[in-house]
Amino acid sequence: MSSPYRAIFAAPGTKTFSAAGFLGRMPLSMMGIGIITMISQLTGEYGLAGALTAVLATAAAVLGPQISRLVDRYGQRRVLRPATLVSVAAVAGLLVCAQQGAPAWTLFVFAAGAGCVPSVGSMVRARWAEIYRGSPRELHTAYSWESIVDEVCFIFGPIVSIGLSTAWFPEAGPLLAAAFLVVGVFWLTAQRATEPVPHPRDEHTGGSALRSPGLQVLVATFVATGAIFGSVDVVTVAFAEEQGRKAAASLVLAVYALGSCLAGAVFGLLHLKGAASTRWLVGVCAMAVSMIPLLLAGSLPFLAVALFVAGLAIAPTMVTTMALIEQHVPRAKLTEGMTWTGTGLAVGIALGSSAAGWVVDAAGAESGYAVPVAAGALAAVVAFLGFRRLRRPAQTRGGYGADGHHIQDDEHVA
């Protein structure tokens, strides 16, 4: 491990909560694809499988920020454990009903309940923010590390989930994902020393963190960014199938995540100066431009190279987004603010997947890559239009500005 990464793990408890966070985040990449694999094997109905994952994603998008808002108020341990048990119980109900051939409506009910899943990535990042508050260099490296962890989950999670469900029994993938969630969350919340201090009710005046103009820009941009990710996944699977090598789709998508992983690792080593808002805008535009070569994909090797290059812009942009959230969201609502960006991604993924599926059915897989290109262009437009809101941090109650200097309580940067 390079020196900056070694330095951030010198703080007590950091290795343990980061490891717990890794386990707790594995379901993010395993559950949806596991449900698709399970339902398609048990019923052969891909439409039903897609609808169930859409309900799961929508429920998580609606409930996730509310769970994080409660976490900011009452603490991680008091909120995450009950929420996790509700989600896991719903997953168990879904698996039993699917295995027993229960009516479809029961599957949708349990899929909605499974959406009561905490945003473990936000919980871990909130711990890093608590430890390295006022140390922008270390916090930048910590966020970069967590971005690497995210990508590792997305490289291996789908492979494990699909592999278990096809080689063992159909319910194996979602079952293991649920087990990862329980172990990860309970291990994370057992570590009280690094848990951020909850903020009492009187610090939560002003409503949701989403009232922040800067956060609104980030979330809106992430809806379009999520549409990139969702559409790329669907179209790549369809493209590989048209090429007669459907199984290779998972490897090509893993290369996409690998590019992001490597970029995140390098990004964490850099000591960057200048405004985070400018770096963020450049990153969003780079993601948009990197989608254009996909329209020229005529073979899987070319597609793999194009996606690897496209992946290089993802992690740096995500890391910078976390820094911007700290600048634009009050400390008492930090976890909620981080979760809202995940909600934006989830909504975008659902929209992008649906749009890509429609285009693929109507015009073929190669034409389907027009969807991520359009989503990238939309993300760039939203980022440009909202850039002025991001240039001036609006943090309150003892936050930190773009340069890492302390902002006094209730001070607003006009």
pTM above 0.85, yes or no: no
% of the chain with per-residue pLDDT over 90: 27
Distance CA 267, CA 134 (A): 20
Q: Is the pLDDT of residue 232 over 90?
A: no
Q: Is the pLDDT of residue 408 over 50?
A: no
Confidence at residue 277, expressed as pLDDT on a 0 to 100 scale: 84
- Banded pLDDT at 201 (limits 50, 70, 90): low
Q: Which domains does the chain have, with CATH numbers?
A: 11-197 (1.20.1250.20), 208-404 (1.20.1250.20)
14-72 confidence digits (pLDDT tens): 999 999 999 999 988 888 778 877 887 888 776 677 778 778 888 888 888 889 888 88
Tokens of 55: 């309900």
User: Which of 386, 378, 286, 284 lies closest to 328, judged by CA?
Assistant: 386
- DSSP sequence for 143-205: HHHHHHHHHHHHHHHHHHHHHHHHHT-TTHHHHHHHHHHHHHHHHHHT--TTSPPP--GGG-T
